[in-house]
């Protein structure tokens, strides 16, 4: 990946994506005002790529923060790269555009830069984010991904989004889209869990061969939110002694090394923090370089460990994580 001066990568549709993004997901117990404050700090310290989603239920606050930073002259709209995601309850061809329009309305913006399919399966449409049956089971549906992709293409043609992509796809699901009859636009990216314990080397090679950017989420080891989709007894990534040793050598932090590692692999990386000092710290990753030996050492930490494995969806035909990559 060639970084240009603004630390961006050219997507397969000609648009540019900043290689370091600010994550905005937080669990329900975090006051929504926090995400707005954090987004403004992120823009102030230099983040230009903001990763969000309808599912996060905080696009009003994120949108307000962006608009305030435009109003005070810190940035122009075109300086910001904003991503939102199609939630599964809009996973019907006739609901896709509505899903995006809901986000735009909350954001009070005219367009987003990137609209991606959040996960490759459908849930029963409706206002509930996780619709459940009388037994408390999430109601899943099967809808053809290629039909959804056509509706995503229409959103791009309508000017509601500059680019379109996917998230949580394995290579077979990506191939379904790439081999679709009459494909108009390829996905520009695949946003997936990716960090030193799950380095996604095979999926990365596949994506690179198709000119699809891999975007890494949970690059710092995820938020470890208990009672959700996090695996129990999961390791604390930023406490890894090898990462710590390398960080000391460069006079950096484990978080900075974990982010820099992904950038040097040609991956676009997201980092979430709502703490000012950490947000600043996470942006300081462009002024040092890991040696090839250190890159190899970090490669060896891989153990194909997934923090987020949504067990409720395991029986769905499009469940993406049964495949090796
Ligand atoms: P990260 O892996 O980026 O961060 C995990 C935690 O690390 C944060 O909660 C943060 O806590 C802490 N942290 C951040 N910076 C530092 C630092 N410098 N030193 C020590 N600790 C630090 O979290 P996410 O799993 O949220 O992933 C990032 C983003 O990716 C999300 O916010 C979301 O935008 C996206 N995402 C997308 C998914 C998808 O399905 N497409 C799924 C999951 C995430 P604190 O705030 O207290 O600093």
Return all residues near 163 (Cβ < 8 A) that are at least 6 apart: 11, 13, 15, 17, 113, 114, 115, 156, 188, 189
pLDDT top residue among 213 and 229: 213
Mean pLDDT of 154-160: 98
Q: Compute the C-alpha angle 19/24/25, nearest 5°.
A: 125
3-class DSSP state of 139: coil
Judge whether residue 75 has pLDDT over 80: yes
* Pairwise CA distance, residues 321 & 325, whole Å: 8
> What are 35-46's pLDDT values in tens digits?
999 999 999 999
> What are 308-323's pLDDT values in tens digits?
988 888 999 999 999 9
Judge whether residue 14 has pLDDT over 80: yes
CB-CB contact of 176 with 128 (8 Å): no
Q: Is the pTM of this model over 0.85?
A: yes
Sorted by where each starts, the structural domains of the chain and their CATH numbers stand as 3-317 (3.20.20.100)
The residue whose C-alpha atom lies closest to atom 46 belonging to ligand 1 is 273
Could you tell me the end-to-end alpha-carbon distance of the chain, in angstroms, rounded to an integer?
21
Q: What is the mean pLDDT of the chain?
A: 95
The residue whose C-alpha atom lies closest to atom 12 belonging to ligand 1 is 273
- How far is CA 203 from each of CA 3, 193, 308, rounded to the nearest angstrom? 21, 11, 17
Q: Compute the C-alpha angle 190/192/195, nearest 5°.
A: 130
pLDDT at position 233 is 78
* Residue where the block lists tokens 């395991």: 314
As for ligand 1, residues whose beta carbon falls within 6 Å of it are 23-25, 51, 118, 167-168, 191, 217-223, 238, 253, 255, 270-275, 278, 281-282
- How far is CA 177 from each of CA 13, 49, 143, 147, rounded to the nearest angstrom? 16, 25, 14, 10
Q: For a pocket test of ligand 1, which of 82, 224, 272, 280 has the largest count of ligand atoms closer than 8 A to its C-beta?
A: 272
Residue 56: active-site member = yes
Judge whether residue 31 has pLDDT over 90: yes
Q: Which atom of ligand 1 is nearest to the CA of 119?
A: 40
Judge whether residue 116 has pLDDT over 90: yes
Judge whether residue 2 has pLDDT over 60: no
> What are 219-236's pLDDT values in tens digits?
999 998 765 666 677 899
Sign, CA torsion 177/113/82/208: positive
CB-CB contact of 282 with 259 (8 Å): yes
The residue whose C-alpha atom lies closest to atom 36 belonging to ligand 1 is 217
* Pairwise CA distance, residues 199 & 206, whole Å: 13
Q: Which atom of ligand 1 is nearest to the CA of 25?
A: 32
- List the catalytic residue out of 56, 82, 261, 319: 56
């Amino acid at each position: 990946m060639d970084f240009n001066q603004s630390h961006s990568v050219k997507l397969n549709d000609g648009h540019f994506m900043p290689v370091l993004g600010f994550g905005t997901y937080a669990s329900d117990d975090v006051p929504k005002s926090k995400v707005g404050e954090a987004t403004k700090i992120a823009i102030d310290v230099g983040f230009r790529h903001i990763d969000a989603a309808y599912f996060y239920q905080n696009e009003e606050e994120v949108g307000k923060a962006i608009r305030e930073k435009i109003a005070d002259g810190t940035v122009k709209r075109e300086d910001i790269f904003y991503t939102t995601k199609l939630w599964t309850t809009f996973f019907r061809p006739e609901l896709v555009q509505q899903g995006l329009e809901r986000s735009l309305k909350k954001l009070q913006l005219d367009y987003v830069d990137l609209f991606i399919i959040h996960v490759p399966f459908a849930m029963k449409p409706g206002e509930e984010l996780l619709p459940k049956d009388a037994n408390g089971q999430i109601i899943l549906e099967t809808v053809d991904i290629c039909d959804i992709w056509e509706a995503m293409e229409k959103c791009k043609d309508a000017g509601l989004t500059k680019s379109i992509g996917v998230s949580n796809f394995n290579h077979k699901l990506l191939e379904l889209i790439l081999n679709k009859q009459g494909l108009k636009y390829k996905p520009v990216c695949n946003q997936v869990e990716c960090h030193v314990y799950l380095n996604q080397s095979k999926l990365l090679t596949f994506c690179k061969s198709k000119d699809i950017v891999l975007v890494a989420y949970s690059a710092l080891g995820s938020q470890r939110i208990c009672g959700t989709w996090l695996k129990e007894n999961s390791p604390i990534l930023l406490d890894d002694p090898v990462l710590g040793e390398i960080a000391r050598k460069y006079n950096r932090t484990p978080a900075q090394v974990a982010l820099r590692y992904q950038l040097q692999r040609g991956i676009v990386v997201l980092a979430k923090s709502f703490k000012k000092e950490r947000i600043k710290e996470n942006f300081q990753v462009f002024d040092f370089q890991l040696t090839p030996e250190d890159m190899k050492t970090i490669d060896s930490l891989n153990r194909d460990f997934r923090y987020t494995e949504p067990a409720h969806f395991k029986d769905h035909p499009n469940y993406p994580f049964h495949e090796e990559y």
